[in-house]
């Protein structure tokens, strides 16, 4: 019987500092300011030992990509090798791979060409092209000493000057080849190959496609990266590019080794492991409940089935006063186009969406099967993009996680908030879900019932159609509703339990210990009416079922308990309390 390969345990190290690292991705600055640093330095050894010259690493946003790239630059760069050595003292790379620092090692041995494309965003192609000229000029200027080098002839020095001056008479072919030529100049001058590092390689394409000049941007970057990375092995020792999406596979970086969560290489070098998070909390939030942290910020899985946390949120949590568990991973605009796309999807997409929400509620370890598109070309601006394009974008952006069997799920509570922000406006842009929760926990059941009726009707309008059965639509409503209760209820100090079986759905809201003793414990019992039944009748049945099950006994420590039976029939609902 074939068994899964289990790698040797990876050493773990935290360099404790005066404060956690939030918002700065400069490895030297973090070291100089003595900030807490999660040691991922063995990434350097993996890059060196990797057989591929060019590696593209894909991870969700704020997953430590820029900091790791800065660390690689600090290690390889020959320009300041004398100053950089101190930053690696007592790190894992020094302890476990001292050979890399020896006289024939790799530390400080290479000219490094570093490109950060995060700011290459524009409304028009001409504006983006000007931004590219500026970036290339800044990149060349860092190596201005080459103008005094005998390794370059006069024509090459003239070309070098034109790049530095952002000469607009340079044609596309001359711009496309400028990075390849820079690596050639550096290799000749230093008699040493270059290391190329590219951060946020896909940001220009993300910016270009909604503005209508995707093809222009794609053609330019395909040509530039192709000339830089293909057939340029004589000038490049290693090249590492990082980004979010798989757009590379559509031609931009064809034949490049692509590393996602599914791959063993670099699997634990981006994102924090449970052991690393435990060590961080011990230093900065010693009273924090690890299980709560896991529920909110974990959920991603490496190829070795290793649990991974979102590093940005963990560092924000560690730096917060009192350790506030909340959504730190707030999106700001780049997926705003997803909301109308979700609203316009058909039955199959919405059925999968309902299942995802349901699995998040029950914390079911089994994912659901979704089709994804490995050749995504940011074609969401087409009149009717395919469902698989939307799932793919969500997956690589980190809004979905994948199990080893290829199925998908919503990874944690923090991401559930993002889904809730997308789904609820699509279900009903007029109502505030916060109002529903507030009326419920205050015991104002009449107002709760009024808002609930509106939600039920809107949910059916969103989820119904294209073959959805009443049962499927009711389940979809329940999943959306309970996810909202789980997220917003916890924000108001409640723990939530849910279950569904045989057409009934139950939710218990228990006030947490820090709330006053007279806080309301709430029991909701949903029941779906059969074709011959009335919503009022099944609401009474649901209410009686609460009494029969004696759920109130679970709240014996509370002074006040509210029992609510809810009957559902199509777009109608009835409340009994």
| Amino acid 63: pLDDT | 92
Mean predicted confidence (pLDDT) in 257-277: 91
Give CA 367 to chain center in angstroms. Answer: 18
Q: Exposure pattern of 214-233 as b/e (b: 16+ CB <10 Å)?
A: bebbbebbbbbbbbbbeebe
| Amino acid 247: pLDDT | 61
| Amino acid 467: pLDDT | 47
Predicted confidence (pLDDT) at residue 250 exceeds the cutoff of 60: no
pLDDT band at 571; cut points 50, 70, 90: confident
Any idea what the CATH number is for the domain that residue 342 is in?
1.10.10
Give CA 495 to chain center in angstroms. Answer: 26
Residue 127 is assigned to a structural domain of this protein: yes
Mean pLDDT of the chain: 83
Predicted confidence (pLDDT) at residue 142 exceeds the cutoff of 50: yes
| Amino acid 428: pLDDT | 53
Residue 34 is assigned to a structural domain of this protein: no
Task: Name the β-bridge partners of 155.
Answer: none
Residue 460 is assigned to a structural domain of this protein: yes
How far is the C-alpha of 315 from the C-alpha of 323, rounded, in Å?
10
User: 120 and 13 in one domain?
Assistant: no
User: 516 and 460 in one domain?
Assistant: yes
Give the residue ranges of DSSP H helices in 50-114. 65-76, 81-84, 92-96
User: 432 and 421 in one domain?
Assistant: no
User: 576 and 499 in one domain?
Assistant: yes
Residue 32 is assigned to a structural domain of this protein: no
Read off the pTM. 0.83
User: 150 and 54 in one domain?
Assistant: yes
User: 391 and 489 in one domain?
Assistant: no
Residue 266 is assigned to a structural domain of this protein: no
Of the segments 276-285, 422-431, 437-446, which one has the largest average pLDDT value?
A: 276-285
User: 337 and 311 in one domain?
Assistant: no
User: 188 and 276 in one domain?
Assistant: no
CA distances to 50, 112, 342, 385, 560 from 380, in Å = 34, 36, 12, 5, 51
pLDDT band at 8; cut points 50, 70, 90: low
Residue 264 is assigned to a structural domain of this protein: no
Mean predicted confidence (pLDDT) in 288-300: 90
Mean predicted confidence (pLDDT) in 494-499: 74
Mean predicted confidence (pLDDT) in 519-548: 85
User: 432 and 443 in one domain?
Assistant: yes
User: 538 and 453 in one domain?
Assistant: yes
Residue 219 is assigned to a structural domain of this protein: yes
User: 419 and 340 in one domain?
Assistant: yes
- For residue 113, which of 191, 242, 203, 199 has the smallest C-alpha distance? 199
Strand order in the sheet with 494-501: 494-501, 504-511, 520-528, 560-569, 572-576
Q: Among 8-17, 50-59, 330-339, which stretch is predicted with the lowest mean pLDDT?
A: 330-339
Domain boundary among 259, 288, 309: 259
Residue 223 is assigned to a structural domain of this protein: yes
Domain boundary among 296, 313, 329: 329
Q: Among 168-182, 241-255, 333-347, which stretch is predicted with the lowest mean pLDDT?
A: 333-347
Domain tally, the chain: 4
Domain boundary among 214, 239, 259: 259
CA angle, corner 250, sides to 248 and 253, nearest 5? 40
DSSP state of 250: G
Domain span holding position 293:
1-25+271-329
Q: Among 180-194, 205-219, 364-378, which stretch is predicted with the lowest mean pLDDT?
A: 364-378
Question: Mind listing the pLDDT tens digit for each residue in 315-344?
Answer: 999 988 768 888 888 654 455 566 666 766
Query: DSSP states of 119-152 as a string?
Result: T---SSHHHHHHHHHHHHHHHHHTTGGGGG-TTS
Mean predicted confidence (pLDDT) in 420-446: 70
Q: Among 282-286, 367-371, 372-376, 478-482, which stretch is predicted with the lowest mean pLDDT?
A: 372-376
Q: Determine how many CB atoms are found less than 10 A away from the CB of residue 313.
A: 24
User: 359 and 439 in one domain?
Assistant: no
pLDDT band at 372; cut points 50, 70, 90: low
């Amino acid at each position: 019987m074939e068994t899964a390969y289990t790698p040797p345990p990876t050493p773990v190290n935290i360099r404790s500092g005066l404060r956690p690292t939030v918002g700065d991705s400069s490895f030297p600055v973090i070291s100089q300011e003595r900030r807490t640093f999660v040691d991922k330095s063995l990434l350097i050894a993996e890059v060196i030992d990797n057989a591929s010259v060019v590696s593209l690493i894909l991870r969700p946003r704020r997953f430590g990509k820029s900091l790791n790239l800065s660390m690689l630059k600090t290690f390889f760069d020959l320009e300041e090798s004398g100053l950089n050595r101190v930053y690696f003292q007592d790190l894992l790379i020094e302890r476990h791979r001292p050979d890399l620092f020896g006289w024939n090692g790799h530390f400080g041995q290479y000219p490094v060409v570093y490109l950060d494309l995060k700011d290459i965003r524009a409304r028009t192609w001409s504006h983006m092209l000007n931004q590219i000229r500026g970036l290339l000029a800044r990149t060349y200027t860092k190596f201005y000493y080459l103008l005094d080098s005998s390794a370059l002839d006069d024509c090459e020095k003239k070309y070098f000057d034109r790049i530095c001056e952002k000469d607009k008479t340079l044609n596309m072919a001359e711009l496309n080849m400028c990075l390849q030529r820079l690596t050639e100049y550096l290799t000749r001058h230093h008699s040493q190959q270059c290391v190329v590092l590219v951060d946020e390689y896909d940001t220009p394409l993300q910016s270009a496609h909604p503005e209508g000049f995707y093809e222009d941007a794609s053609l330019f970057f395909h040509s530039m990266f192709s000339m830089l990375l293909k057939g340029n092995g004589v000038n490049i020792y290693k090249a590492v590019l990082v980004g979010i999406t798989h757009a590379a596979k559509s031609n931009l970086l064809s034949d490049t080794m692509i590393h996602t969560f599914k791959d063993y290489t670099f699997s634990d070098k981006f994102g924090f492991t449970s052991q690393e998070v435990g060590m961080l909390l011990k230093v900065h939030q010693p009273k924090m409940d690890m299980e709560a942290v896991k529920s909110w910020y974990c959920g991603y899985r490496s190829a070795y089935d290793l649990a991974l946390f979102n590093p940005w949120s963990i560092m924000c949590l560690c730096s917060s006063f009192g350790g506030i568990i909340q959504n730190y991973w707030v999106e700001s605009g780049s997926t705003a186009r997803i909301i109308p796309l979700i609203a316009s999807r058909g039955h199959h997409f919405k059925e999968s969406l309902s299942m995802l929400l349901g699995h998040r509620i029950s914390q079911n370890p089994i994912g659901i099967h979704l089709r994804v598109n490995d050749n995504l070309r940011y074609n969401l601006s087409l009149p009717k993009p395919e469902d698989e394009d939307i799932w793919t974008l969500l997956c690589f952006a980190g809004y979905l996680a994948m199990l080893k069997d290829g199925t998908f799920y919503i990874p944690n509570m923090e991401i559930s908030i993002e889904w809730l922000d997308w789904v609820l406006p699509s279900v009903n842009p007029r109502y505030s879900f916060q109002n529903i929760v507030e009326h419920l926990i205050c015991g104002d059941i009449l107002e709760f019932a009024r808002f609930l009726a509106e939600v039920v009707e809107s949910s059916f309008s969103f989820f119904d159609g294209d073959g959805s059965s009443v049962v499927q639509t009711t389940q979809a409503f329940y999943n959306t509703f309970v996810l909202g209760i789980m997220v917003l209820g916890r924000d108001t100090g409640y723990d939530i339990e849910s279950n569904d079986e045989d057409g009934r759905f139950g939710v218990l809201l228990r006030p947490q210990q820090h709330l006053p003793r007279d806080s309301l414990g709430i029991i909701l019992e949903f029941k779906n009416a059969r074709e011959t039944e009335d919503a009022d009748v099944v609401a009474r049945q649901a209410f009686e079922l609460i009494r029969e099950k004696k759920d109130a006994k679970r709240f014996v420590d509370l002074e006040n308990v509210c029992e609510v039976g809810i009957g559902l029939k199509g777009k109608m609902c009835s409340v009994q309390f």
